[in-house]
Structure formats: structure tokens, C-alpha cells
Amino acid sequence: MTDLSINTDLVSGILIGFVREEVLKVGARGVVVALSGGVDSALSARIAVSALGKESVTAVAMPYRESNPSSLEDARLVAEELGVELLVIDISLQIDSYFAAFPEADATRRGNKMARERMSIAYDISATRAALVLGTSNKSELLLGYSTLWGDGAHALNPLGDLYKTQIYQLARHLGLPQRILDKAPSADLFQGQSDEADLGFTYADADQILYQLIDERRSPGEIAALGLDPVMVQVIWDRVRNTQFKRQPPLIAKLSARSVGQDFRYPRDWGH
């Protein structure tokens, strides 16, 4: 097993600086974080509080009537610990109204719709406060494509996107997040009793080892199997990474002119800031 541990002082310093500078230099006043009750969003909010102060962080919990009630309790706990304002916006009405027309919709379809509803609300609230939406997707999720396109995958800034899930826990412990948040099983909470690791069919601890070898070390699946990691799981994960590449990209634009948005019109995102 490769030691994936990080220097938490160094990393937290960089991430706090990242959020502070990228928010303030574009003239935004703060951030909006959708708190799910899980460790990722709690950590994002925690970093934002250190970066901007608790008055500049708005937390939003957006339960659906079938969400696990403990998720909302955990979101409240995090907001209280961090001392940030928490808005609770129940999304049951709009979700049920929409799916009344599609009673056959399965759990995935319903879960994705909820994730996009939450994104839409976070953006609406951010506009009322001149704030940016802060993302909570970690590197494991991003690489595995375990997110809803334009749902939880949509945000302005993401301090966590280059940390594997196992590293998220390490940093969360370091920054003193409540033990209850650290102890719970990771869940997208798209339906009751959902578990990331049951959905994926492997643990984040195992997946992170393989992802690290594939991505950071650029080893081929064959080379990784030679290290003693399960070759079937290596292939499953590599296929997942390849098949979800579109989720990590902006939309394709058909090239026509001499200079095209997204292709060879390449001003930096921080243009003018």
C-alpha cells in the first residue's frame, strides 16, 4: 500500500489561500456551500470559514422528504460548530411536482434531478449575496465520475478536487471537524440508505490506491497489477475513469471560425483579476 498521507498544515494553508484569493479578487463577498451532512461539504465550509470568516460563508441544507433525517442534523451540527448561517430549503415540493408527470422515474433519475435542483438553489442564493458557489467534489469522485453532471459537479471554485477521499478524511481530522461527521459512511444521500461504497462496489481506500497509481504515477493497468493490486478492480476503475471523461470537461463546441470559445480563445479564467 502506498502512503497517500499529506502534509495537512501545508495543504490547508494552500487551500485557505486559494479560496480567499479567488473569491476576493473577482469582487465576490463570500461563498455559498451546500451542506449535505457529509465530510466533503463540511470540509469545504471549514476551509471557507478560515479563508473568509464565518460571516462570509452561507451554508444551505436542501433536504428532500425521503432524505435521511440524520443528514440534516449533521448539517446543522457543522453549521453550528463553524458558526455560519444555515438556510434550510426543502426541495420536496418542486421534485414531487416534477416527477408527478413521470411516476416511472427510477432512483438515479430522481437523485440526479435533486442534485441539479440543489445546484440551482445554491446559484440563486449566491446571486443574492454576491457570493460564489463553493464545490465539494473530491478527486476520487471526480475521477470515478461519481457525481451528477451539472448538479453537485457544478460550482465556481473547488478546494477539494485534488484530494483523494482518504486524504479528505486526514485533512478533516486535522481541521477538527466533528467526530460524528468523520465516522459516518460516505453517502450521496440521493435515496435513503444509499452508500457510495456499495454503489461503487469497492471502498475508497482501495480505489484511491489504484487511482493514485493510474493517475499520479501514470502506471498502466498491467504495471499496477504487477504491484499486487487486484487486476480486475484496476480494470474496472480504469474503465470508469475513461468512460466518465466527459463529466470532467466543458461542453464540446463545434469548431468553425478562426478563433473559438473553449478551443483557441485561451485567456485565463482569472483574466483581469
Partner 1 sequence: MAGSPPVQLALVQHQPVLGDLQANLDWCCEKISAEAAQGADLVVLPELSLTGYFLKDLTPETAVRLDGPELERLITATGKAAALVGLILESDRFSFYNAAVLISNGAIRHVHRKVYLPTYGIFDEQRHLAAGDQFLAADVELAGGASWRIGVLVCEDLWHPSSAYLLSRAGVDLLLCPSASPGRGVGSGEGELGSATSYGAMLRTYAELFTVFAAYCNRVGFEDGFHFWGGSRLLGPDGQILAGPLDDSPGVLHAQLDRGHLRRARIAHPLLRDERFDVVQHQLDLTDDD
* CB proximity list for 220: less than 8 A, separation 6 or greater: none
Query: Contact letters (x/-) for partner 1, 168-187, by CB under 8 A?
Result: --------------------
268 binds partner 1 (CB under 8 A): no
264 binds partner 1 (CB under 8 A): yes
Q: Which cell goes with 253?
A: 463546441
- Residue 170: burial class (beta carbons within 10 Å; 0-12, 13-18, 19+): middle
Say how many C-beta atoms besides its own lie within 10 A of residue 244's C-beta: 16
Q: In the complex with partner 1, which residue's Cβ is closer, 70 or 220?
A: 220
Alpha-carbon distances of 23 from 130, 132, 206, rounded to whole Å: 10, 7, 35
220 binds partner 1 (CB under 8 A): yes
Find the shortest distance in angstroms from Cβ 267 to partner 1: 14
127 binds partner 1 (CB under 8 A): no
Residues 100, 101, 232, 252: which binds partner 1 (CB under 8 A)? 252
Phi and psi (nearest 5°) for 125?
A: -65, -40
Q: Which stretch binds partner 1 (CB under 8 A): 67-75, 127-135, 167-175, 249-257?
A: 249-257
243 binds partner 1 (CB under 8 A): no
263 binds partner 1 (CB under 8 A): yes
* CB proximity list for 115: less than 8 A, separation 6 or greater: 147, 148, 151, 152, 190
Q: In the complex with partner 1, which residue's Cβ is closer, 259 or 269?
A: 259
